């Protein structure tokens, strides 16, 4: 096993609150362990272009509380090609970088797996995405902040819904995953939650809305972006079926990706940042550091990107029981 002296860290894919806390943890844990640490700007694109800068303890000062990523992020088309990855490897060799920490989601880890396979470079991943759509960790960095942003926004929408006796359809992020919708739905007392993982039973939802009419003057239906139909169509359908409801649609969009990370995301990022550096020193590679039941665990990239079955159907049952 080759001794690791120089490592580099990058953020890739969609930004998520807490990525800065993770960068800070990797840089400082690296320095603590006597390593030289580099930062790669704009994700894999920066590796291909050689946009790699030395990092020191000061370069990550005062960032733990900031949303976004100071290293910037991108989705790199060039890195998807062999030629792009070859260029990336050349740049790594020039700086004598022995190993990488990549912070991102499934696309990031898919790219990392290919890179390891072709160029034999040790890489450890840290889960950074608001969607929480990775196996091998109970929560991804940014998810907690994003759901709290949604809860805050929906609570405000509820004020208007209640004042005007309206029904609001609120579309939240989650291209392939309903996890943001489900948790934010429970915590805002939503009357229904529509997610891509489950078949939507419109008849049941319509009946439920009608049956509980006497108890409520406002209604919130949360729709995940990845739902088969999406917020616009759902709002139209409800308006058609219930002409007596005053229906409005609100698409929350990218406000869910920004903002200062919650305490939970900062602690998660700090723990996984330190764990990833220690893992590289111990000779681990091709794995994502995650937190399962409070313990740091490592999951091969190939398994981490298969997030199927993460939906706890008991949570969807809770939405229904509590919507009376
Ligand atoms: O970060 C994941 C995610 O938020 C998805 O839920 C969403 O579909 C996607 O990013 C949108 O990303 P972008 O606008 O950067 O393409």
Q: Over 127-172, what HEC string results? A: EECCCCCCCCCCCCECHHHHHHHHHHHHHHHHHHHHHHCEEEEEEE
Cβ–Cβ < 8 Å for 187, 153: no
Whole-number Å distance between alpha carbons of 287 and 14: 20
Nearest CA to ligand 1 atom 1: 14
Q: Among 270, 295, 309, 319, which Cα is nearest to 18's?
A: 270
Nearest CA to ligand 1 atom 9: 175
131 an active-site residue? yes
In the reported structure, the alpha carbon of residue 231 is separated from the centroid of ligand 1 by a whole-number distance in angstroms of: 16
Tokens linked to 26 = 């990797």
In the reported structure, the alpha carbon of residue 185 is separated from the centroid of ligand 1 by a whole-number distance in angstroms of: 19
Report angle CA 300, 76, 10 to the nearest 5 degrees.
55
171 lines ligand 1 (CB under 6 A): no
Q: From the CA of 226, give the closest atom in ligand 1.
A: 8
In the reported structure, the alpha carbon of residue 130 is separated from the centroid of ligand 1 by a whole-number distance in angstroms of: 9
pLDDT values of the chain reduced to their tens digit, one per residue, 324 residues: 789 999 999 999 999 999 999 999 999 999 999 999 999 999 999 999 999 999 999 999 999 999 999 999 998 999 999 999 999 999 999 999 999 999 999 999 999 999 999 999 999 999 999 999 999 999 999 999 999 999 999 999 999 999 999 999 999 999 999 999 999 999 999 999 999 998 888 888 888 888 887 788 899 999 999 998 999 999 999 999 889 899 999 999 999 999 999 999 999 999 999 999 999 999 999 999 999 999 999 999 999 998 765 788 889 899 989 988
253 lines ligand 1 (CB under 6 A): no
Provide the 10 A C-beta neighbour count for residue 99: 25
In the reported structure, the alpha carbon of residue 69 is separated from the centroid of ligand 1 by a whole-number distance in angstroms of: 15
Residue 274 backbone phi and psi in degrees, to 5:
-65, -45
Mention every residue, 6+ apart, whose C-beta is less than 8 A from residue 248. 161, 166, 167, 168, 169, 235
69 lines ligand 1 (CB under 6 A): no
Q: From the CA of 177, give the closest atom in ligand 1.
A: 6
Tell me, what DSSP letter sits at residue 19?
A: H
Probe target for ligand 1 pocket from 103, 257, 265, with the most ligand atoms within 8 Å of CB: 257
14 lines ligand 1 (CB under 6 A): yes
Whole-number Å distance between alpha carbons of 222 and 228: 13
173 lines ligand 1 (CB under 6 A): yes
Question: Which pLDDT does position 143 carry in this prediction?
Answer: 98
Mention every residue, 6+ apart, whose C-beta is less than 8 A from residue 212. 191, 323, 324
Whole-number Å distance between alpha carbons of 286 and 119: 12
Whole-number Å distance between alpha carbons of 164 and 152: 19
129 lines ligand 1 (CB under 6 A): yes
State the catalytic residue, choosing from 15, 45, 98, 131: 131
Q: Which domains does the chain have, with CATH numbers?
A: 6-142+261-304 (3.40.50.450), 143-257 (3.40.50.460)
pTM above 0.75, yes or no: yes
Question: Which pLDDT does position 309 carry in this prediction?
Answer: 58
Probe target for ligand 1 pocket from 140, 175, 184, 307, with the most ligand atoms within 8 Å of CB: 175
Whole-number Å distance between alpha carbons of 323 and 312: 18
């Amino acid at each position: 096993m080759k001794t690791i002296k120089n490592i580099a860290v990058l953020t890739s894919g969609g930004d998520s609150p807490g990525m800065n806390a993770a960068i800070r943890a990797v840089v400082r844990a690296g320095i603590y362990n006597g390593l030289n640490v580099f930062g790669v700007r704009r994700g894999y694109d920066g590796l291909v272009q050689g946009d790699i800068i030395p990092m020191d303890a000061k370069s990550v000062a005062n960032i733990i509380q900031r949303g976004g990523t100071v290293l910037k992020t991108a989705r790199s088309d060039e890195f998807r090609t062999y030629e792009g990855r070859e260029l990336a490897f050349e740049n790594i060799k020039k700086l004598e970088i022995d190993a990488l920490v990549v912070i991102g989601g499934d696309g990031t880890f898919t790219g990392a797996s290919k890179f390891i396979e072709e160029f034999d470079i040790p890489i450890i991943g840290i889960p950074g995405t608001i969607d929480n759509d990775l196996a091998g960790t109970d929560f991804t960095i940014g998810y907690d902040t994003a759901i709290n942003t949604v809860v805050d926004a929906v609570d405000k929408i509820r004020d208007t819904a209640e004042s005007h006796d309206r029904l609001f359809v609120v579309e939240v992020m989650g291209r392939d995953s309903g996890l943001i919708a489900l948790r934010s739905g429970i915590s805002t007392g939503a009357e229904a939650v529509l997610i891509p993982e489950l078949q939507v039973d419109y008849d049941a939802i319509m009946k439920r809305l009608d049956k509980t009419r006497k108890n409520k003057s406002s209604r919130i239906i949360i729709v995940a972006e990845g739902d088969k139909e999406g917020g616009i169509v759902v709002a139209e359908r409800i308006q058609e079926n219930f002409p007596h409801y005053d229906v409005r649609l609100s698409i929350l969009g990218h406000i869910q990706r920004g903002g200062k990370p919650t305490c939970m995301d900062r602690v998660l990022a700090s723990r996984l940042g330190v764990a990833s550096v220690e893992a590289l020193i111990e000779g681990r590679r091709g794995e994502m550091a995650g937190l399962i039941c409070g313990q740091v665990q490592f999951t091969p990239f190939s398994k981490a990107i298969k997030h199927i079955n993460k939906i706890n159907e008991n949570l969807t049952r809770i939405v229904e029981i509590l919507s009376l």
